[in-house]
Amino acid sequence: MTQSSNTDLITRALATATDTRRIAFGDDVLGATGPLFADLFPGKRVIVVADGNTFAAAGRPVVDSLAAAGVEAIEPYIFPGAPTLYAGYENVEILRERIRPLTDAIVCSIASGMLNDIAKLASGELSRPYMNVCTAASVDGYASFGASISKDGFKITRGCPAPAGLVADLGVIAAAPRRLTATGYGDLIEKVPAGADWVLADELGIEPIDDDVWDLVQGPLRDALADPGRIGAGDPGAIRGLAEGNIMSGLAMQAAQSSRPASGAGHQFSHVWEMEGHGLDWEPPLSHGMKVGIGTIASCAMWEEILSRGPGFVEAIDADDVVARARSDEEIEAAVRRALIPRIAQEAVGHAVGKNLTGDALRERITTIKRAWPRVVERVRPLLMGPQEVADRLKAVGAPCHPEMIGIDMGRFRATHAKAQMIRPRYTILDVLADLGLLDDVVDALFSPQGYWGRHLHEERD
């Protein structure tokens, strides 16, 4: 059940998804909620879960559609609309315990990213499926497995299945607050350098690209990002592509059983700040996509800097010198513990040490990079955007386009480049620079007076 500008692509994506079986996407599709629920969960009761804002946006048509389809309903559970509901584990527990005794009930959430994650994890912890009615193009996590949840001020992704069904009504989505649309754009644009990061890992034989999964994300990506001004203004035609692109990214993650198709070094900047608890106490809380957008600029700046040095630069690197300067595992562990707060450092040590190469292993990696680099350059140049283009697009859509706009001063931002390399095992631009002994050098160049960040040390105000 799809209404889409690219029905064949969505149909193909659903065929490879592990959890999501049905999607109603398009104009005036809220009425499909009841038939879709009845088809997916025959004989089950429904409990609609929303907050005051999302219920006002779509609650009555959803409830009416479920009733018209003959679905027996339990009284909806409505979280307060203010202050902004945050994806904290305490809210997962509240919802989980509300639905636990309702053994024949399935959640139909009416939600943007945070409440969707709450419903996803609460249902997953009870081993129950659920479905969601999307209320904003704010995140790529609607159709993905896992939920990004904060516990004790520490935000991580917790495992749970993706929704069995989705309803995405473009009228509702286009009417969402501009900040939600902007955060969805920030989440989606990181797929640009994330694609380059995957190409890098593919060429080095570290993580091969699955062509079908690649096409699910990269195929519609440029069209989805094409007109940030119209998207930011709430134009339904422009927002169609953004909403579809974010849903496709989630389906691609299901197909890959990994976030690799949708997440690269830019996301790792966001993950650092989220794990440090940055912005959790804001009202509204600082969104994932706002942080990811800044990380995307950082990632594209690193790519631009290394590519600007010319095709022969990597070939000329002295492998013996890099190996001689390489840090031992013990030095890496000490650096991680100095850089990261304790609750992050313990897990990050395993990732950082696991990626650290020395001696012959590092020499072999450098040889592989040198051999693969011309092909990497050939493949990533058509994919990438420059950091200024990313910043301009984020500004046009109404998203933050400088670290200071999300409360990150430039000293902390600079330090995040090293931290972001430490916290995940995923191979990205951060890791190839580390393997070549160039990460500090590239960061220094970017923050020099002639470098990208040296030229943009502070937020430029209109």
DSSP readout, 198-232? Answer: HHHHHHTTSS---HHHHHHHHHHHHHHTS-HHHHH
- The mean pLDDT of 300-313, rounded to a whole number, is 95
Q: Which residues contact 396 (CB under 8 A, 6 or more apart)?
A: 228, 229, 232
The pLDDT confidence band at residue 6, using thresholds 50, 70 and 90, is: very low
Using the predicted structure, report yes or no on whether residue 163 has a pLDDT greater than 60. Answer: yes
**Could you give all domains of the chain from N- to C-terminal order, each with its CATH number?**
7-176 (3.40.50.1970), 182-230+258-455 (1.20.1090.10)
Report which DSSP code applies to 191. Answer: H
Measure the CA angle with vertex 452, ends 449 and 458; round to 5°. 75
Q: What is the pLDDT of residue 153?
A: 63
pLDDT above 80 for 152? no
pLDDT tens string 343-368: 889 899 999 999 999 999 999 999 99
Name which of 366, 356, 364, 365 is nearest 422 in CA terms: 356
Higher pLDDT, 4 or 303: 303
Alpha-carbon torsion, ordered 162, 159, 210, 202, to 10 deg: 150
Report the chain's mean pLDDT, rounded to a whole number. 94
Reported pTM:
0.95
Per-residue pLDDT of 361-409, as tens digits, reads 999 999 999 999 999 999 999 999 999 999 999 999 999 999 999 999 9
Band of residue 22 on the pLDDT scale cut at 50, 70, 90: very high
- Confidence band for 282, pLDDT divided at 50, 70 and 90: very high
pLDDT tens track for 128-145:
999 999 999 998 878 888
Instruction: Give the Cα separation of 109 and 133 in Å (integer).
Output: 6
- Residue 155 confidence (pLDDT): 72
pLDDT of residue 206: 97
Question: Which residue is associated with the tokens 């079908």?
Answer: 212
Looking at per-residue pLDDT, the higher value among 410 and 141 belongs to 410
Residue 47 has pLDDT above 80, yes or no: yes
Q: What is d(CA 374, CA 50) in angstroms, rounded to the nearest whole number?
A: 51
Mean pLDDT check: name the lowest of 245-254, 265-274, 453-462: 453-462
Euclidean distance between CA atoms 187 and 454, whole angstroms: 25
Which region among 5-14, 69-78, 170-179, 329-338 has the lowest average model confidence (pLDDT)?
A: 5-14
